[in-house]
Amino acid sequence: MHNVWTAERDHAVPLLAVEDEHLASRSPARLLITAPTQPGVETLAMRVHETGPRARFPFVHTCASDLPVEPEVLREYCTTVLAAATGGSVLITGVEEMPPVVQEVLSELLAGLEFVRSPSADVRLISGTTVSLLDRVAAGTFSERLFYRLNTIHLMAADNPPGVALVSELDAVHPSDGSTAMCAR
């Protein structure tokens, strides 16, 4: 575990960056996973879910590219995903692909969930990326507000050799573990 220092509005801000899956799995906090490949993100997320206190509840996977752009439809979609994952975890992969309007609405939804006590709010959000979101924030292509909402704990995968995935493409497309995949691949 180490602190990664970044600048936010001229203030130094430490981000909790970990390489310890066990630590990440025990926390109820939102988790951002950065890995070299999408299957790597998915594998880490599943391991964190399976070794944590939410393991007996659903694991629901959705892709950021599948999120509706229309705000009201996005809210309905998110409500459906949260209901499907009650007590468990939701993984949103490819968060760097979200259009700005989706980033804004999702950030508002996450802010609203912080004060809700309904069962659908009892879901751990795991988001995943294969790029540095901090670099995207600095470039102005990713919402700083959403970045800090997603990045309570940041689990960074060890680099894989080029061309080596953590799971086979077949497993990534057709999970055999009973999890719910909501990605259109």
pLDDT higher than 90, residue 1: no
DSSP 159: P
DSSP 154: E
According to the model, what pLDDT value does residue 162 have? 39
Q: Which domain holds residue 145?
A: 2-181
pTM: 0.75
**What's the pLDDT tens digit per position in 107-165?**
998 888 777 656 556 899 999 999 999 999 999 999 999 999 999 899 988 763 333 33
CA distance 174 to 101: 30
**What's the pLDDT tens digit per position in 79-94?**
899 999 999 999 999 9
**What's the pLDDT tens digit per position in 20-56?**
788 889 988 999 999 999 999 999 999 999 999 999 9
| Segment (H or E) for 11 | strand 11-18
Q: Are 144 and 20 a contacting pair, CB within 8 Å?
A: no
Q: How many domains does the chain have?
A: 1
Task: Report the CATH number that the domain containing residue 82 is assigned in CATH.
Answer: 3.40.50.300
Q: Are 144 and 104 a contacting pair, CB within 8 Å?
A: no
What residues contact 10, with CB distance under 8 A and at least 6 apart? none
